[in-house]
Amino acid sequence: MPWERCGRRINYGAILDAGKLRAFTYDMHDMHVIRGLELNQVKLLAELSRANGITSAASNIELSQSAASHALAKLRKQLGDPLFLRTGNGLRSTPYGQRVGLAAREALEVLAAGLASNQPFEPRTTTRMFNCYMSDVGMMVMLPSLMAYMKKHAPGSSVRSAPIPLINPGGNLISGDVDVAVGFFDNLSSGFLQRFLFRERYVCIVRSGHPGFRGGMSVEAFKTVEHAMADATGMAHAVIDRSLEKYRISRTIALRVPGFQMLPAIVANSDLAAIIPGRLADTYGRHLPIKVLPTPIPMPAFDIRLFWHERYHHDPPHRWLRQVFVELFKENRAR
């Protein structure tokens, strides 16, 4: 199959339909409470869990303030809890109100997805913002092509990109606040699907005309020159130091910078060398006077993959966005 569940292969029959929900068991009291709730009450619960006051919550769901206050009073009576209370810092939820508000938000998201699931996605008319997690290298290499494609095929859309967080990286993908993650990640596992895009390699770069590399790459030249390196947090990049240690090759680090994307411009204007991902070197090599060389010793390549949560596997906008990434960056098309 072209896509797989993270950590193991999966067949299409194992995926539930987008609108098919897990069954829950309720006792008679729970069912009585649910039957007594109106849709506006559920919407109000969801908005109150996000808003700082009842006025803004009412406005967001197009209710008057008096109608919202009446609905909240009715909810308090039905559920036997104050739910949301005024404080000096605005409206704050009780513990029960927080849980019920979150449940209301999730219920409305599932309902909205179900209602929209049969509507075809029209990229040429959409005004949707697509949210992506990418590494700094991914942003430099992929975003220009992605934005050019969007301008042509989905001119009303926009893209927001951010590095994947180290803490709870899958949270926003599960909630739908972020659509896809692109890169090398080993911390997106249960519930996530993935698609291979391309295999990346490391290369060494020096400035064009560097006197130490006129004859190409050699271990001796690599050890003699001073180096710039990225203190990158990406999970693939620890392989550089491990590979050098394995062959007992040391390098003199003269400069450390936060990310790989800064290194080509620095190297182009100095006698420093640097090891960076190959596609980043190719991107900058078109505009900067740098020489791209193989690393002095073999270094493992790493796979760049597209990740998404199975909740959105059948969602039309998500499916379209994933296909765009495959079309633009699948191996043998980007190179």
Structure tokens at 314: 């059948």
> If you average pLDDT over residues 296-323, what whole number do you get?
94
Does any domain span residue 6? Answer: no
Strand 129-134 relative to strand 180-183: parallel, antiparallel, unpaired? parallel
Does any domain span residue 5? Answer: no
Q: pTM for the complete prediction?
A: 0.64
| pLDDT tens for each residue of 189-205 | 789 999 999 999 999 99
Q: What are phi and psi of 333, to 5 degrees?
A: -105, -40
| pLDDT tens for each residue of 222-253 | 999 999 999 865 555 678 989 999 999 999 99
What is each CA distance from 172 to 95, 175, 281, in whole angstroms?
A: 22, 5, 31
Compute the Cα dihedral for 95, 96, 97, 100 and give only its sign: positive
Question: Number of folded domains in the chain?
Answer: 3
- DSSP secondary structure, 5-30, as one string: ETTB---GGGSPPTT--------HHH
Asked if 185 and 311 sit in the same domain, the reply is: yes
pLDDT of 151 above 50: yes
| pLDDT tens for each residue of 18-40 | 333 333 444 545 555 566 688 88
Asked if 184 and 268 sit in the same domain, the reply is: no
| Owning domain of residue 258 | 202-300
Distance CA 331, CA 33 (A): 54
Asked if 268 and 281 sit in the same domain, the reply is: yes
Asked if 149 and 270 sit in the same domain, the reply is: no
Q: Note the Cα 164 to chain centre separation in Å.
A: 6
What pLDDT, on the 0 to 100 scale, is given for residue 117? 66
CATH code of the domain covering residue 160:
3.40.190.10
What pLDDT, on the 0 to 100 scale, is given for residue 235? 52
Asked if 80 and 125 sit in the same domain, the reply is: no
- pLDDT category at 288 given cuts 50, 70, 90 is very high
Asked if 208 and 325 sit in the same domain, the reply is: no
Tokens 């098309």 sit on residue: 333
Asked if 69 and 152 sit in the same domain, the reply is: no
- DSSP secondary structure, 88-116, as one string: TTEEEE-HHHHHHHHHHHHHHHHHHHHHH
306 and 180 in contact (C-beta within 8 Å)?
yes
Asked if 38 and 108 sit in the same domain, the reply is: yes
Per-residue burial over 287-323, b if 16 or more Cβ lie within 10 Å, else e, is ebebbebebbeebeebebbbbbbbbbbbbbbbebbbe
